[in-house]
Amino acid sequence: MRAYERLMKYVKVCTQSSPDTGATPSTPGQWDLARLLVEELKELGLENPSVDGHCIVTAWLSASPGCEAAPALGLLAHMDTAPAFSGRDVRPMVHENYDGGDIALPREGRVIRAADFPFLTGLKGKTLLTADGSTLLGADDKAGVAEIMTLCERLQAENLPHGRLCVAFTPDEEIGEGPDHFDVAAFGAKYAYTVDGGAAGSIEYENFNAASAVVDITGVSVHPGSAKDVMENALLMAQELNALLPSEAVPARTEGYQGFFHLDRLEGTAAACRMEYIIRDHDEGEFTVKKALLQRAAAQVQAAHPAAKVAVTVKDSYYNMKEKLADCMHLVENAMRAAELAGITPTVEPIRGGTDGARLSYMGLPCPNLGTGGYNFHGPQELACVEDMDAVVDMLTHLVRLYSK
């Protein structure tokens, strides 16, 4: 079975995670996909396919004869889809022989415009998968799941040499909780890769340092007719605070290694409101500066409104995996070689985000990230390329063989 065929099956299972439930996994649909994958892994003949009490799927493929001394290699992908856009009732669509132009989706008048996404010109003539416009597709990261499963099938069907392969599929990556209960020692891999990136051939070993920040503002609420010199409007105070942050340091105005403040949610009333930020920077020093800047902005607003209350809670989420991969650059070098052997041009670039691999690297499992052949994640313009997914499976096959020697 080709990887895209598996993807089309997996996306029909709703696994959209949620930051609000407090459960593990955060949504029940992730159990449904986990159980489906366990059954498929059994059919493929892997060792001890199982899902644990935290909805982490694991299985192992024994080394082929003569490769027993090779280092155990891990491959991971996540089962959940982003909470930012609906992942329920996904209807995958196949667009054969893509002409390089706009892609009209049948639901809600949405169009994937070539002018907005220049990479589309490079996909001309290929077969693309999208949803129907009412949901995201779920290639992030069910494409990675499908590619790892297809690799496991190929290695055995074609009797290809490989060392011990450790496979895991995690829940709740999109809300930063994927590795919370991951047992690195029991997993048994010496090195690993997450298959959770974009274009085929992309190799990522640098990611943002990341923190979340919550600002709770309690104003002074009185009748507006008698508010002079008394009312403290929490919503206006929120605007003051945000205006104290650098206006250019936002996602829409940054790229590459540039960090940002992202106001992800603002809700409340004049009486009280909450602001939720994510703070990102590749540089550890600049990351620290950004966190301190938010604290200073809050203190400045508090000083200007002494009758109100401004409370800030900042929590680090993950750190730049580059610090943990400095002594394991063979992971990047072998990934580049594997891409070339698969006929893909490798690209090494920083992640403007994070993966389970970032946290796993700090947990003792060096783990860069590889592309899946998916694009435009987290929204209705998401798509995947069939031929690029095939190429990723080829790349993984060569990568496993490189580590079998």
Q: Active-site residues: which are they?
A: 80, 173
Q: What does the block give as tokens for 395? A: 């790349």
Token reading at 175: 């809300």
CA–CA dist 400, 405 (Å, integer): 9
Interacting residues of 185 by C-beta distance below 8 A, sequence separation 6+: none
SS3 51: strand
Q: How far apart are CA 260 and CA 385, in angstroms?
A: 30
The residue type found at 21 is T
Report which of 77, 78, 345, 356 is spatially closest to residue 203, judged by C-alpha positions. 345
Nearest to 235 by CA among 264, 251, 215, 262: 215
Residue 371 to residue 361: CA distance in whole angstroms: 18
Instruction: Compute and round to an integer the Cα radius of gyration of the chain.
Output: 23
3-state secondary structure of 214: strand
Residues β-bridged to residue 347? 202
Q: Which residues contact 91 (CB under 8 A, 6 or more apart)?
A: 131, 132, 134, 135
> For residue 95, what are the CA distances in angstroms to 132, 136, 161?
11, 16, 35
Q: Report helix angle 234-243 to 284-304, nearest 10.
A: 140
Helix (H) or strand (E) holding 204: strand 202-204
- Cα–Cα distance measured from residue 289 to residue 287, given in angstroms and rounded to the nearest whole number: 5
Residue 81 pairs in a beta bridge with 16
Sheet holding 309-318, edge to edge: 260-268, 272-281, 209-218, 309-318
Distance between CA atoms of 181 and 241, rounded to whole angstroms? 36
369 phi, psi to nearest 5 deg: -120, 140
Indicate the burial class of 145 (C-beta count within 10 angstroms; 0-12, 13-18, 19 or more): buried
For 93, other C-beta atoms within 10 Å of its C-beta total: 16
